[in-house]
Amino acid sequence: MTNVSIEEWTGAEAKLLRQALRLSVRGFAEHTGIAARTLTRWDSSDISARLRPDSQAVLDATLAQAPADARSRFAALLREAVGSPTASTTVLATPPLPSTSSVVGGPGDLLAELDFTRRRIATGLTQGGNEPRLDVIAERISDHLAVYTRSSPTEMLRPLLYDIQEVDDLISTQRASLDLARLSESTAILAVLIADSLMKLGEISRASYWYNTARTAADDSRDNQLRALVRAQEAMLPYYFGRIERAVDLARSARQLSPAPNDTAALATAAEARGLAMLGDQYGARTAMAAAWDMVESFDPPPADRAFQFDAKRLMLYASSTYTHLGDTSHARDVQRQALDKYEPIDGSVIDPALIRLDAAVCAGIDGDIDEACGLVSDTVTTLPEAHRTEIVFAKAKAVLPAIAPRHRGHRSVQELQDLLTEHNPQHRPEHSHGRTT
C-alpha cells in the first residue's frame, strides 16, 4: 500500500484529499468537521495558503484513517500535481512509524496509526463476510446505549468515533455480503448519539449535519420505527437552539411514522407538546401532553435507563417544560416534585434532573420569587459535575432571566446570576449567539 505524508497542508492538498475520498464539499465537511465555507475557500481563493495548525492536524488524521484505495488515489493525484505552483512539498515514500514524541500531535499520531491498522486488520479478517463485524458493532452500540444517560458528551464522543469509523470502513468495502439494512441501522443509531453529544456541547452546526446523516441512514433502513425515533430525537436540536416550528414538524413527522402506542410515539408526542407550549398553543400543547400520558399508561415501557427509552419518568421532564412554557406554574411544580423523587437519589442520571430544576427556577421567576429562581440556577450549575456543564444546560439556565419581570431585573440576585452564568459557561462561540435559549 502506498503511504503518503504531507509536510504542510495547503488548500491544494486538502482539495486533492477530498477528491481522493470521492466526497463533495458538504460530504467532506461532515467527514472532517471543517466548515463547508472554509473548504470552498480553500478550493478557490486560498488554495495555496498555509492552513492553521488545527486544520493541519484534522487533515493529518483524515489521511491516516482513509481507506487504502483512497490513499492510493491521493498519492496519484499528488504525483499529477507535481510541478504545480499550488502544490506544497510532499513525501510519497512510506514514512517511519511516528514516535510518541512526534512534534506534530505527539502521541496522537501514533494512536491514529494504531487505529487505522486495527481497522485494516478487522477488514481483512472478515473477507468472507461482514456479519461477525456487524455483530461486534451491534454489541458495542448496546453498551453505548446502556451508559449514555449517565455519561458526559465528551466521555461518549471518542468511543462513538471509533465505532462510526468501523461502520465507515464497512461502507467503503461495498461487498455483496454486506447486510445493508443492519449497516444503515447501526449508522443511524451511532449518528444520533454523536449528534446528541455535539448538541449538548453547543456544536450546533456539527450536530445538525450528524442528525441529517442519521435521518438518511434511518430512511435507508426502511424501518419506520427507527425513522420515527431519529426524527423525535432530532426535534431536541431546534427546541433548544433553533426554530421551534421545526421541532414541532419533526415531532409530528415521527408520530406519523410510529402511530401505534409505544415509547417512540410517546416521545414524539411529548416533544410536540413541548414545542407547541413554547409557541403559546395552550390547547394543542395540553392535548398532545394528555395523549403522551395515555400512551405511556397503555403499555409497560422498560425503565428509561438506556438512551432512547421513554417511560413515565422521562415524560415528566417533557411535562415539566410544557407546563412551564404555558405559565402553568402550579401544575409544573407538582410534576417537578414528582419527577425529582423518581430520579433521585440513586438513578444515576445527571442532565435530566438538572433540566427539571432549571424549569423550577423559571417557574419561581414567573411567580416573582426572585431569590428562589436565582438560587436554584446557581445551585444547579455549581453542583453539576464540570463535564456535564454543557451548552444545553446553559440554554435552560439563561431562560430564567427573561422569566423574571422587568421591574426585578436590577435585583442583586439577578446581577449575581448573570455574572455566574458568564463565569461558568465554557462556550462563547459566535454560532451560539444564533441559538434559541429557552
At residue 389 the predicted structure's pLDDT band, cuts being 50, 70 and 90, is confident
Q: What is the pLDDT of residues 291-317, one digit of tens each?
A: 999 999 998 766 667 888 898 889 999
Cα separation, 419 vs 416, in Å, equals 5
* Res 79: pLDDT: 79
Can you read off the three cell numbers belonging to residue 131? 456479519
Question: Quick one: pLDDT at residue 345?
Answer: 59
Mean pLDDT of 206-221: 93
Listed residue (137, 240, 248, 170) closest to 198, CA to CA = 240
Distance CA 166, CA 180 (A): 14
Is 435 a residue whose pLDDT tops 60? no
In angstroms, the CA 391 to CA 381 distance is 11
Q: Count CB neighbours of 149 within 10 A.
A: 19
Cα–Cα dist 148/152, whole Å: 8
Range with the poorest average pLDDT among 112-121, 192-201, 275-284, 348-357:
112-121
Counting Cα atoms < 13 Å in the Cβ hemisphere of 389 gives 18
Q: Using the structure block, give the residue that is written with the C-alpha cell 496522537.
A: 108
User: Which has more pLDDT, 73 or 247?
Assistant: 247
3-class SS of residue 222: coil
Q: What is the DSSP letter of 350?
A: -
Res 114: pLDDT: 62
Query: What is the tens place of the pLDDT at every residue in 113-132?
Result: 666 666 566 555 544 455 67
Residue 203: strand, helix, or coil: coil
82-100 pLDDT per residue, tens: 544 344 433 333 333 333 3
Distance CA(44)–CA(411), nearest Å, equals 53
CB 260 within 8 A of CB 299: no
pLDDT computed for residue 224 by the predictor: 95
Cell of 26: 458538504
C-alpha cell at 222: 426502511
Please compute the mean of the pLDDT values over residues 189-193 and round it to a whole number: 95
d(CA 366, CA 285): 19
d(CA 162, CA 179): 20
Helix axes 412-424, 370-383, angle to 10 degrees: 20
**If you average pLDDT over residues 354-365, what whole number do you get?**
94
Q: Distance between CA atoms of 362 and 238, rounded to whole angstroms?
A: 20
Average pLDDT estimate for 245-252: 97
Provide the mean pLDDT of the chain: 81
Q: What is the value of pTM for the model shown?
A: 0.68
The three three-digit cell numbers of residue 370, written as one number:
426572585
10 - beta bridge partners?
A: 50
d(CA 323, CA 288): 12
CA 304 to chain centre: 19
Residue scoring higher pLDDT (277 or 313): 277
Give yes or no for residue 260 having a pLDDT over 90: no
Q: Is the confidence at residue 264, as pLDDT, over 90? A: yes
The pLDDT confidence band at residue 354, using thresholds 50, 70 and 90, is very high
Residue 105 confidence class, pLDDT cut points 50, 70, 90:
very low
- Give CA torsion, residues 125, 131, 132, 136, to 10 deg: 120
Bridge partners (DSSP) listed for residue 90: 6
Under a CB-based contact definition with an 8 Å cutoff, are residues 309 and 340 in contact?
no
192: closest CA among 113, 88, 307, 68?
A: 307
